[in-house]
Structure formats: C-alpha cells, structure tokens
Amino acid sequence: MKVLIMGLRSAGKTTLVKHVLEGKEWEEIKNLNPTEFVETTSYKYRGLLDVTTFDCGGQESFILSYFTEQWSHKIFSNVSVFIWIIDSSDLRTFRESKKELLKSLNFIKNYSPGARIFVIATKYDVNKISLKNIRKELAGLGIEQISSTSIPLGIAREIVCTILDGTLTKELKSKITKLEKELNRFNKKINAIATLIINKSDGLELASSVSSEKLNPEILKYISTKALVEPLNSTRPIFTKLQKEGYVDLPDAELGLWHVGTYYVNLFNINEQFALFSILEERNFKIKTLIGYCDSIKNSVLQFLG
C-alpha cells in the first residue's frame, strides 16, 4: 500500500511521519532539518501495513519539478492513500498550499483514480486558520476528511492512526481477532490488566487484550510504547559482552520488568519486529511461570506471522 504524503515546505510532514511511523516523541523531533527533494521511506505500520511515504521537500523549485512528466508518473502512480499536509499556523502560505493541492489532485485522479484523499492541518496548537475555515476553503474537492493535528498537544498520532487503520483489509482484521483470542487467554492466565503485542518500529500495538474496566482499549490503540520496548533491542549485546568477560550467564529469555507505582510492566522479546507488553497489578506472579506463558504466546504470534 502506497501512502503519499505531500505539502509545502515546513508544513510539518517529516515531523508527523517520524512521530507516527517511527514512534518518536515531540522532544526528539522538534528540531529536524528540512528534507532535501524526494525522500522515500518504507514503514510497516503496526507491523501490518506497508506504508511508503514520499516526503517531497516542499521548496518551491522542488514542488515545480514534481509536476514534470518524468516525476509525476513515479510519484502519483499506485497511490492508495493521499494525504495533503497544510500548515494551520501560516496564513501567508495557505493560498499557495491550496493551489498546489489542486494541481496534485489532478495528478492523483489521473494516475491513481481509486485513491482515498485526506487533508491534515498541522500545528493546531499555534493555529491561525480554523478547521472550519479550512473545510470551507477546500469543500467540493473530493476530500474524504479534513482533520487538525498537533504533536505537542498529543493529538496527532490518533488522527493519523485512525486514517491508516481505516484502510486495513477484512482479512487482516480477522487475523487480528484470532490473535486477540489467544491474548485474552494469556491475559487471564497471568492475571494482567492488559496485554499488547507491540510492533517495535512504531511502538504501536498489533493486537491487544484488556481485561479490566479500568483501561479503555481505545486509548491503548494510539499509544506508542516505543521508549519502553526499545531497551529490549540493546540489552542482549550488553549481556553478550559481559558474558564474554565471564561475569554473567546469558539469560535465554529476554524479559524486562518495570515497577511503576503499584503496577508492573512486563516486556518480553518476541523477535526483531515484535515484543509483548503486559500491565500487571501488584506482584502476584512468579517470574519463571511468567516466562513460560510468554514463551507459549510467542509461538502463537510467530504462527500468526508465518
């Protein structure tokens, strides 16, 4: 599935993509350098969807060259989802952005007639144009949905995820439902509040099971646990080195446990791509038993993927 993301210079494209598809938080990405010409990056959103973004710089001269024969075919063909990014904090560039959007839509309609079209108004924390006005300005262009986002306000991930989740096929959804049945059993066995299978690259869940009314499963859908899960990738090299020096035995299972208030967060490495994440209330579990259960759910996940 090709997701094409475009917009004028400095509209907030790169920041948004890094936030949602790389699980980066505002503090890490608020000072990015501008993108040079077309940067193509491929992601596996939630471990499910192949998403390729074409971040097209956005300098005026670059924008012009997209519309040459040579480039337009390459950029606008086979697009399933087209997202135009508009800077809601900049009144001066609004006209220009609308003009370029109209041009792009012509290309999309030519080269990818079935594409679903979305507009995202970024930087709504410092907006100068209201969403209502943007919607009025862009009415009648065949845009499915126009939404506003703000990364510092923490509302961007949910908006973009909702758009991408809306493009998941029935087959994928029923596969997830099957995996969630396994997770429900696991969750009961270990007496956890919630268990999630996390796609490590964006920190988003592939599937989840929530067994308590205390937690809204809808919220878990849009949280990136990247920062918690990431250490699982780096502990093995450290332990390997220590083991070489003869200090420790290398553990077979890669399990991490966080103690947060009265809760325990259990992290378990499934493979390069996925990790298991559960939230447990108080210490009512044995580590060895926990590892055993984690191992069996690991096999289910690997089967699901295989």
Ligand X SMILES: Nc1nc2c(ncn2[C@@H]2O[C@H](COP(=O)(O)OP(=O)(O)O)[C@@H](O)[C@H]2O)c(=O)[nH]1
Name the residues that contact ligand X, by CB under 6 A: 7, 9-15, 30, 32, 34-35, 55, 58, 122-123, 125-126, 150-152
- The minimum distance between CB 39 and Mg ion, in angstroms, equals 7
Q: C-beta of 89: minimal distance to ligand X in Å?
A: 7
Q: Which does 150 bind (CB under 5 to 8 A by kind): Mg ion, ligand X, none?
A: ligand X
Q: How many residues does the chain have?
A: 306
18's CB contacts (< 8 A; 6+ apart) are 24, 29, 32
**167 contacts 81 by C-beta, under 8 angstroms:** yes
Q: Is 15 in the site for Mg ion (CB under 5 A)?
A: no
Tell me how far CA of residue 146 lies from CA of 17, 76, 131, 138, 184, in angstroms.
17, 20, 8, 9, 36
Kindly state the smallest distance separating residue 125's Cβ from ligand X, in Å. 5
Q: How far is the CB of 86 from ligand X (least distance, A)?
A: 10
DSSP class per residue in 124-136? GGG-SS-HHHHHH
The first and second tokens of residue 35, run together, are: 């993108």
Beta bridge partners of 255: 268
SS3 of 244-276: HCCCCCCCCCCEEEEEECCEEEEEEECCCCEEE
**Chosen from Mg ion, ligand X, none, partner binding at 126 (C-beta under 5 to 8 Å by type):** ligand X
| 32 contact, one of Mg ion, ligand X, none, CB 5-8 Å limit per kind | ligand X
Residue 72 interface partner, choices Mg ion, ligand X, none, CB cut-off 5-8 Å depending on type: none
Residue list 19-78, contact with Mg ion (CB under 5 A): 35
* Nearest to ligand X of 88, 278 (CB atom): 88
Residue 209 contacts Mg ion per CB under 5 A: no
295 makes contact, choosing from Mg ion, ligand X, none, with CB < 5 to 8 Å by partner type, with: none
Least separation in angstroms between residue 102's CB and ligand X is: 19
Confirm if 265 and 277 have CB atoms less than 8 A apart. Answer: yes
**DSSP 3-state of 55:** strand
From candidates 14, 112, 266, 269, binder to Mg ion by CB under 5 A: 14
Structure tokens belonging to residue 240 = 């390997």
**Is residue 118 within 8 Å of 88, Cβ to Cβ?**
no
227 binds, among ligand X, Mg ion, none (CB under 5 to 8 A by kind): none
Q: Which does 151 bind (CB under 5 to 8 A by kind): ligand X, Mg ion, none?
A: ligand X
Give whichever of 120 and 179 is closer to ligand X, judged by the CB atom. Answer: 120
Q: Supply the DSSP string of 81-116, one letter for each residue.
A: EEEEEEETT-STTHHHHHHHHHHHHHHHHHH-TT-E
From the list Mg ion, ligand X, none, partner contacted by residue 201 (C-beta under 5 to 8 A by kind): none
Q: What are the distances in angstroms from CA 55 to CA 77, 82, 178, 194?
A: 15, 12, 35, 36
Q: How far is the CB of 9 from ligand X (least distance, A)?
A: 5
Span from 5-13, 43-51, 265-273, 289-297 in contact with Mg ion (CB under 5 A):
5-13
Torsion on CA atoms 268, 270, 275, 277, rounded to nearest 10: -40
Contacting residues toward Mg ion, per CB under 5 A: 13-14, 35
